C-alpha cells in the first residue's frame, strides 16, 4: 500500500477506506500532527474566531463564537502562541516552485480560528484537539488564503502551509458538523427506541467519520428496533461512503438472529472474490493491472467483506462457520489477496472469528 503523496483529501477517508492504511506506512515514514478542521470541530468543546491584536503574545480577544460557552469580547490566554511573535516563525511554506520564486508570505495573527478543549479537571487551561501542540488547533486567516500546520509530505515535519479551502468553506463545514453533532445528541435523548433509530438513520449518512461511527454505535444500542434502519443503510450503497460499517452495528443490534442474513451476504461476497481474485495482480490495491475506475469499487468490496466479518463476530452465530472457513481458505490461496501489506486483514479476521466461535462452542 502507499500513502498518497501530498495532503489527504479528507481525514475521514483514511478511516473509511479500511484498516489497510494503518498497516501500510513505510518503515522510514512517520506521521506528525496536522490540523484537521473536521476532526478538530468534532472533538473541540469550544470553537472561536479571535485576534491577537497589535502584539502577538498569546493573549487573544474573541471575535465570534461557533461552539461552546465563550462570549464575544472575552479574553482567551494561549501562552503557547507567543512563540509566533518573531516574523520568521510565521513564514508560510509552499511546495510550488513558482510560489517559491516570490517574496515569502507571513501570517499576521489578526484573525485566527481556534479549536480548543477545556476539561473539568483543568478548567484554567485550554488544550489542543489533537492532543499534541496547539499549532494543530489553529487556522490562520489572511485576506487571500487560510493556513495551518500540516504534514504535507511523509516523511517530513508539520509546517505552516495553506489549507485547500476558504474561510467561508471552513465556516460551512464547521456549522454542518456542529449541527450533526447536536442532532445525534438530541436523537439519543429520545426514550422510544424506534423513534431514536429513525432519527439516527439520516445522521449515520454523514460524510464525517466520527459522526457516522457514533450514530451507528447508538443505533446498535437500540437493538431490534434499529434493524430495519441499519438494514436499509447497509443495502443502499448510494447513500454514503461508509455504509458497509452498518454491518458491524447490524450484528450488534440483531444479535444471533441476524447471523443467517449476514452469512448469506458473506457467501455472495465470497463468490465475487472467487471470480475476481484470480484475475488480479499483486499491488491491485494501488491500481496495478487495473484501469483507474476499477480500483475504488474493488476497495469498496474489500471493505464490505471486512465489515461483514465484523458484523458476524458481533452476532456470535456459529452457523457462519462453514462460510467463513471457505472464505479464509480461498483468501489465503491467492498471494494477491493475502498480501501481508494489509490485504491479509480478511484472513486474519476470519481466523479471529473462527477462534471466537470455537471458544464459544467449547464454553457452551
- Taking only the tens place, the pLDDT of each residue in 184-227 is 999 999 999 999 999 999 999 888 888 999 999 999 999 999 99
Asked whether 176 and 167 are in contact (CB, 8 A), the reply is no
Residue 327 clears pLDDT 90, i.e. is over it: yes
Tell me what the pLDDT averaged over the chain comes to.
86
* Alpha-carbon torsion, ordered 93, 94, 95, 98, to 10 deg: -140
Determine the Cα–Cα distance for residues 192 and 220; give it in Å rounded to an integer: 14
Q: What is the mean pLDDT of residues 28-44?
A: 79
Residues 65-111 have pLDDT tens digits of: 999 999 999 999 999 999 999 999 999 988 766 666 678 889 999 99
Alpha helix locations (H) across the chain? 11-17, 20-23, 37-43, 97-100, 167-188, 193-203, 209-221, 227-235, 246-254, 259-276, 292-315, 321-333, 345-363
pLDDT at res. 273 = 98
Count how many Cα atoms sit within 13 Å of the Cα of residue 173 in the half-sphere of its side chain: 17
* The three three-digit cell numbers of residue 257, written as one number: 438472529
Read off the pLDDT band of 20 (50, 70, 90).
very low
pLDDT in tens, 245-262: 889 999 999 999 999 999
Q: Provide the 3-class DSSP secondary structure of residue 125.
A: strand
Helix (H, G, I), strand (E, B) or coil at 28: coil
Amino acid 97: pLDDT: 63
Amino acid at each position: 500500500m502507499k500513502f498518497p503523496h501530498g495532503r489527504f483529501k479528507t481525514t475521514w477517508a483514511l478511516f473509511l477506506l479500511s484498516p489497510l492504511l494503518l498497516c501500510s506506512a513505510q518503515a522510514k515514514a512517520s506521521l506528525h500532527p496536522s490540523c484537521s478542521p473536521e476532526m478538530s470541530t468534532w472533538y473541540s468543546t469550544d470553537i472561536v474566531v479571535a485576534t491577537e491584536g497589535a502584539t502577538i503574545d498569546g493573549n487573544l480577544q474573541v471575535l465570534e463564537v461557533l461552539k461552546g460557552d465563550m462570549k464575544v469580547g472575552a479574553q482567551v490566554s494561549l501562552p503557547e502562541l507567543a512563540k509566533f511573535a518573531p516574523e520568521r516563525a510565521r513564514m508560510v511554506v509552499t511546495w510550488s516552485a513558482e510560489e517559491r520564486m516570490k517574496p515569502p508570505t507571513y501570517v499576521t495573527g489578526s484573525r485566527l480560528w481556534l479549536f480548543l478543549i477545556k476539561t473539568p479537571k483543568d478548567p484554567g487551561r485550554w488544550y489542543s484537539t489533537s492532543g499534541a501542540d496547539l499549532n494543530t488547533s489553529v487556522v490562520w486567516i489572511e485576506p487571500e488564503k487560510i493556513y495551518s500546520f500540516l504534514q504535507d509530505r511523509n516523511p517530513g515535519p508539520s509546517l505552516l502551509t495553506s489549507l485547500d479551502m476558504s474561510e467561508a468553506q471552513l465556516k460551512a463545514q464547521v456549522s454542518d458538523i456542529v449541527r450533526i453533532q447536536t442532532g445525534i445528541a438530541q436523537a439519543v435523548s429520545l426514550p422510544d427506541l424506534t423513534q431514536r433509530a429513525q432519527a439516527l438513520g439520516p445522521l449515520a449518512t454523514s460524510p464525517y467519520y466520527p459522526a457516522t461511527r457514533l450514530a451507528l454505535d447508538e443505533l446498535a444500542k437500540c437493538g431490534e428496533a434499529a434493524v430495519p434502519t441499519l438494514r436499509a443503510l447497509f443495502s443502499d450503497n448510494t447513500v454514503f461512503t461508509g455504509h458497509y460499517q452498518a454491518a458491524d452495528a447490524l450484528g450488534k443490534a440483531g444479535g444471533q438472529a441476524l447471523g443467517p442474513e449476514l452469512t448469506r451476504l458473506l457467501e455472495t461476497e465470497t463468490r465475487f472474490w472467487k471470480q475476481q481474485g484470480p484475475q488480479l495482480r499483486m499491488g491491485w490495491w494501488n491500481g496495478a493491472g487495473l484501469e483507474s475506475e476499477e480500483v475504488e469499487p474493488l476497495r469498496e468490496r474489500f471493505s464490505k467483506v471486512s465489515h461483514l466479518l465484523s458484523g458476524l463476530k458481533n452476532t456470535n452465530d456459529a452457523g457462519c462457520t462453514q462460510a467463513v472457513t471457505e472464505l479464509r481458505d480461498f483468501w489465503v490461496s491467492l498471494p494477491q489477496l493475502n498480501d501481508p501489506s494489509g490485504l491479509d486483514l480478511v484472513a486474519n479476521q476470519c481466523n479471529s472469528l473462527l477462534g471466537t466461535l470455537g471458544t464459544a462452542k467449547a464454553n457452551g
